Amino acid sequence: MTFTINVPKNFSFWRTVYSHGWCALPPFKVDKENKSLERIFKLASGKHLAVVIKDGKKEKLDIFSTLKLNGNEKKDLIFQLKSCLRMQEDYSEFYKEAREHKEYRWIPKIGAGRLLRAPTVFEDVIKMICTTNCSWALTEIMVSNLCKKLGFKFQDSCFMFPTPEAIAGVTEKYLRKEIRAGYRAPYILELSRRIAKGDIDIDKWRTSSLPTEELFKEVRSVKGIGPYAAGNILKLLGRYDYLAIDSWCRKKYFEIHRNGKASTDTIIERHYKPFGKWRGLFFWMDVTKDWHDREFPL
């Protein structure tokens, strides 16, 4: 079935899809030519379906679903879609701040700033662990293996991201050797088992009323999640107080602001401090500006 959904003001579908590397990791699949995003969703009713999302006519998105949905199922899918595309969050304050700085006026102009996320916090967190201390190529291998070997098979080459229960059911050795998770295996396994047993509920992080500093500590309490991963996870929870500096961002910052001359993270922190609770997002916009310039010339 096909239907449309309205988009909020200042929303750019394609820039949200390409906001960071998530669109290249399964179950997300991006079609650059048709400018569409595809993935499998699981509904509360237990049904799985493949969905293709495309820019529609003025301020609408076209949604193509492989299943005919009843009222509640459609409502459920729309909620998940809007959550992934960050359509329910208010960025007006961020854009207002951006307009006040000459070098950031491009952001509200093109509707950048929304960061694509998965339907569940679990998927985002496991993927984030898979980005730590390795190349992007290895991240792709790990995530792809998780989906293919432990995820629900929807069609021939179409897999869902595995549930905590599915990962909890395998051994550390399996995660090391078959998934190629290496030393991350015990971290992935421990979190999956804690969730599967009901010892921890990380999906509530998205609606948490905790102050960001407290939430950061809670995210950090998960083994395998250090300052970089926690900062990035927070960005996917709608909190931008942490920069989440990794080697790539660090290098990029030095290129942009210091003519390639290396310095310390304290210098970077100091640079973005005036941006308050939006500093993490301004930092990300800075280091990814050239993607936007290259992929989406004004």
User: How many angstroms separate the CA atoms of 46 and 195, rounded?
Assistant: 19
Conformational region of residue 242, where left means phi above 0, alpha means psi within -120 to 50, and beta covers everything else: beta
- Bridge partners for 39 per DSSP: 51
User: How many angstroms separate the CA atoms of 192 and 198, rounded?
Assistant: 10
Spatial contact of 55 and 14, defined as CB atoms under 8 Å apart: yes
Piece in contact with DNA (CB under 7 A), picked from 16-24, 226-234, 256-264, 278-286: 226-234
Size of residue set near DNA by CB under 7 A:
27
Spatial contact of 218 and 205, defined as CB atoms under 8 Å apart: yes
> Could you tell me the smallest distance in angstroms from the CB atom of residue 257 to DNA?
18
**What is the three-class DSSP state of 95?**
helix
Piece in contact with DNA (CB under 7 A), picked from 38-46, 205-213, 246-254, 280-288: 246-254
Q: Which is nearer to DNA, 129 or 281 (CB)?
A: 129
Q: Running DSSP on this structure, what letter comes out for residue 164?
A: H
Residues listed for the chain:
298
Measured CA to CA in angstroms, residue 34 lies from 52, 262, 273, 292 at distances of 11, 40, 40, 18
Does position 276 bind DNA by CB under 7 A? no
Q: Which of 111, 119, 164, 224 touches DNA (CB under 7 A)? A: 224
> Could you tell me the smallest distance in angstroms from the CB atom of residue 219 to DNA?
10
Q: Which is nearer to DNA, 133 or 288 (CB)?
A: 133
> Could you tell me the smallest distance in angstroms from the CB atom of residue 12 to DNA?
27
Does position 24 bind DNA by CB under 7 A? no
Q: Which of 105, 153, 177, 204 touches DNA (CB under 7 A)? A: 177
Q: By CB under 7 A, what part of segment 179-218 binds DNA?
A: 180, 182-183, 187
Residue 6 one-letter amino acid: N
Residues 6+ apart with CB under 8 A from 98: 104, 105, 107, 108, 282, 285
Per-residue x/- marks for DNA, 115-154, CB under 7 A? -----------------xxxx-xx--x-------------
Q: Which is nearer to DNA, 30 or 185 (CB)?
A: 185
> Could you tell me the smallest distance in angstroms from the CB atom of residue 216 to DNA?
12
The structure tokens listed for 97 are 């701040």
Residues of this chain that interact with DNA (CB under 7 A) are 132-135, 137-138, 141, 176-177, 180, 182-183, 187, 220, 222-230, 246-248, 251
